[in-house]
Amino acid sequence: MQDYYNKAESNLKKFWGFDAFRPGQDVVVKSVFDGNETLVLFPTGGGKSLCYQVPATVFEGMTLVISPLVALMQDQVQALKAKGVSATFINSTIPSYEVEQRLVNARNGMYKLLYCAPERLKTTLWEAELPKLNIDLVAIDEAHCVSEWGHDFRPSYREIRTSLESIADETRWIALTATATPEVQKDIVESLGFEKPNVISRGFSRPNLKWWVVKSEKKKQKLEESVKKGAEKGDGLIYGGTRKNCEHLAERFSRLGIKTEAYHAGVEPEKRKAIQQRWITGETPLVAATNAFGMGIDKPDCRYVIHEEMPYSLEAYYQEAGRAGRDGDESFPILLYRGSDYIKADERLDQSYPTLDELNHAYQILCDSFHLAVGSEMQESRSFDVEQIKKRGKLSYGKAMSSMRLLDQFGIIAMQQEVKPAVGIQFTLGSSGLKTFREKCNNDEKAEFTDKLERMFGSMAFHNIIQLDEDYVLDKLGLRRNTLVKALNVLMQNDQILVFEMHKERTLVKVLEARSRKLPFTKKEVESHRNNLFRKLEQMHGYVLTETCREVYLRNYFGDTSAKPCGHCDNCLRSESDKTSVPASEEIEMIYELLKQEQHSVEELCHLSELGKNKVVQAVQYLIKEEKATTNPSKPGFYVLI
């Protein structure tokens, strides 16, 4: 094991340029080398990926990484290749012949890491290739997707162990997540069949973050005040909800002298990259974004993150707000809240969640739009337009999109949003004809360009249109987009040796199983998922309403019951400043006795004890600090004895 670890430290320096692992990472890596079933609970930005990527470079065989995030797996593979680590991915967005080729390459030992979407494990191709693959480690990223209690449940995750049963006892296992409550952790362990898991947590304490909730009916005014104060500390980020609002906020704060840019799915991909880079370097000090912003973006010195609207879960809030202060310096996650926000969020969730009948209707319309007959299977992913589902199904935009997301989560379809621009080419000549064209071509530059295209797009481009990532093509050819389009137009219209397509960013969808007359799940399953979303929203609301330490509330929610009042969130500072409200020992005893009988909210404790609100809050804070009481995340705003 020590030899493995020494090699891991050497590779950490060689490929990533780091002299040593972060605290916690070293423990995880050693656990993996020891052959322990390992569950990793690290906060956002805690360096989870290195916990399996570095061991992957040490093992003789391959590491299989299960991930539900297609865009993220593509980015990680690209980053690994840039560092000199061999890696690839297979998912529903690449043609079946390319999947087959990559699996053959994997069988031949060409990759150290193979990223795979969970639904791929159920295909006949995967089942045929699995016995031939030398897999030394299975890494399950975003492991909270295993649990029906998680905020991003995916049923296909629950079948991972079954799909890999033939190698389960011969390989190492690691599961990783940034957001897992105790019930989710338990569900992960049971679903993955971990018998004696080594659970390694860096805890959910972020002592440099000053958690703050601003309750006001004048949110615009409070937002402006918060940004002006935040700008004095450094760069920041506003989660603005809708695309339209992000554009409005960018314009508004730029007029006030704080350069701000809007980031959302409607912005062109190249422009989005440029916005990210300007924010990371500090050229743009503030970004107003939808929740699409943040994945894979690392800016250590973000000093404040403001949520103008309340997120739908504490998991989402903790991840997004946690983008502040990754360098360890004082930073401010701020949530703006007005009284009607919870009611609006509850109504929005209710109105956008489909019934089983509506879900089935959306599925049938989707299959019709792809001209997919009952019993037929889709071979490749195709572009998808939500407007078709909306109009033909007579559904609202919100309900149509929710239907697609649910079908994706339940493993009925694979949906990839914001697919990067692509170039599609098919040669209209055969291989020998193309060779003759090059030989007779009087333009050496054109002949060389055609040769590069043939090598890049491969032999299958003589039979079908083959699509490749636009950035990849431009990089390999060393051309700008306009130059490439002009050159391809000449080859298509003048020389007539190929046809081509330029695809903008789009959403791709693939129906994963043969079309059926009815969806394979029950009304109870659909309603159970719906109820869980409402429960998550209620717990998020509880964070807003709590009158005691916000860090305690968050850490209790994620299972850290040892948390004590932080002393620097808005609630702690408010109670500290009110010196006259410090409760006497008999008042603390009175609150203790009331909680001994049953759990209560602050309002109930005020009524039962006839004490003022400040004294009740102080007493509850004292009991939390002394580890005698805690929040009850399953019943927001209530407190129980430990």
Mean pLDDT value across residues 541-555: 88
Cβ of 435: how many Cβ atoms within 10 Å? Answer: 14
Closest CA to 57 of 116, 2, 120, 111: 111
| pLDDT at residue 581 tops 60 | no
Q: Which residues pair with 335 in a beta bridge?
A: 213, 307
328: left (phi over 0), alpha (psi -120 to 50) or beta: left
> Which tokens in the block code for residue 259?
């350069």
Closest CA to 421 of 343, 504, 335, 341: 504
The rounded distance, in Å, linking the Cα atoms of 161 and 143 is 12
Which is more confident, 577 or 367? 367
The rounded distance, in Å, linking the Cα atoms of 607 and 535 is 27
- Measured CA angle at 198 (ends 192, 204), to 5 deg: 95
Mean pLDDT value across residues 617-637: 76
pLDDT tens-digit readout, 437-456 = 998 888 889 999 999 999 88
The rounded distance, in Å, linking the Cα atoms of 553 and 146 is 24
| Ramachandran angles phi, psi of 286, nearest 5° | -140, 135
pLDDT tens-digit readout, 117-146 = 888 888 888 989 999 999 999 999 988 888
pLDDT at 634: 66
Mean pLDDT value across residues 399-416: 85
How sure is the predictor about 470, in pLDDT bands with cuts at 50, 70 and 90?
confident
Range with the lowest mean pLDDT among 291-305, 430-444, 512-526, 533-547? 291-305
How sure is the predictor about 154, in pLDDT bands with cuts at 50, 70 and 90?
confident
Range with the lowest mean pLDDT among 81-85, 350-354, 466-470? 466-470
pLDDT at 576: 66
Q: What is the DSSP string of 451-509?
A: HHHHHHH-GGGGTS-EEEEHHHHHHHHT--HHHHHHHHHIIIIIS-SEEEEEE-SEEEE
The rounded distance, in Å, linking the Cα atoms of 470 and 74 is 14
Strands (E), 3-130: 38-41, 62-66, 87-90, 113-116
Residue 94 vs residues 200, 372, 453: alpha-carbon distances, Å: 35, 19, 19
> Which tokens in the block code for residue 74?
């593509």
pLDDT at 408: 85
Over its C-alpha atoms, the chain yields an Rg (Å, rounded) of 27
Which is more confident, 418 or 239? 239
| Whether the domain at 2-201 and the domain at 212-338 fall into the same CATH topology | yes
> Which tokens in the block code for residue 571?
């609630």
Cβ of 396: how many Cβ atoms within 10 Å? Answer: 13
Question: How would you class 343 by CB atoms within 10 Å of its CB: exposed for 0-12, middle for 13-18, buried for 19 or more?
Answer: exposed
pLDDT at 151: 59
| pLDDT at residue 539 tops 90 | no
Q: What is the DSSP string of 402-459?
A: HHHHHHHHTTSEEEEEEEPPEEEEEESS-HHHHHHHHHH-S-HHHHHHHHHHHHHH-G
Please provide the average confidence, as pLDDT, over all residues in the chain. Answer: 87
| pLDDT at residue 631 tops 80 | no
pLDDT at 577: 60
pLDDT at 448: 92
pLDDT at 299: 87
- Measured CA angle at 242 (ends 241, 243), to 5 deg: 130
pLDDT at 271: 86
pLDDT at 136: 96
For the ranges 130-144, 457-471, 585-599, the maximum mean pLDDT occurs at: 130-144
How sure is the predictor about 379, in pLDDT bands with cuts at 50, 70 and 90?
confident
pLDDT tens-digit readout, 201-229 = 887 888 899 999 999 999 999 999 999 99
The rounded distance, in Å, linking the Cα atoms of 418 and 269 is 9
Say if domain 2-201 classifies as CATH 1.10.3720.10. no
Mean pLDDT value across residues 294-300: 72
Percent of the chain topping pLDDT 90: 41
Q: Which residues pair with 499 in a beta bridge?
A: 426
CATH number of the domain at 345-420+508-528, out of 1.10.720, 2.40.50, 1.10.1420, 1.10.10? Answer: 1.10.10
pLDDT at 295: 60
Mean pLDDT value across residues 590-615: 85
pLDDT at 525: 82
Architecture in CATH for domain 212-338: 3-Layer(aba) Sandwich (3.40)
For the ranges 105-109, 175-179, 524-528, the maximum mean pLDDT occurs at: 105-109
Q: Which residues pair with 209 in a beta bridge?
A: 331
pTM: 0.75
> Positive or negative, the Cα torsion across 366, 369, 370, 371?
positive
**What is the DSSP code (8-state) at residue 88?**
E
The rounded distance, in Å, linking the Cα atoms of 177 and 174 is 10
pLDDT at 296: 59
How sure is the predictor about 582, in pLDDT bands with cuts at 50, 70 and 90?
low
* Domain-wise residue ranges, the chain: 2-201, 212-338, 345-420+508-528, 422-504, 558-641
CATH number of the domain at 558-641, out of 3.10.20, 1.10.10, 3.30.300, 3.30.1380? Answer: 1.10.10
| Ramachandran angles phi, psi of 219, nearest 5° | -65, -35
Count, residues in the chain: 642
User: Are 144 and 108 in contact, with CB atoms under 8 Å apart?
Assistant: no
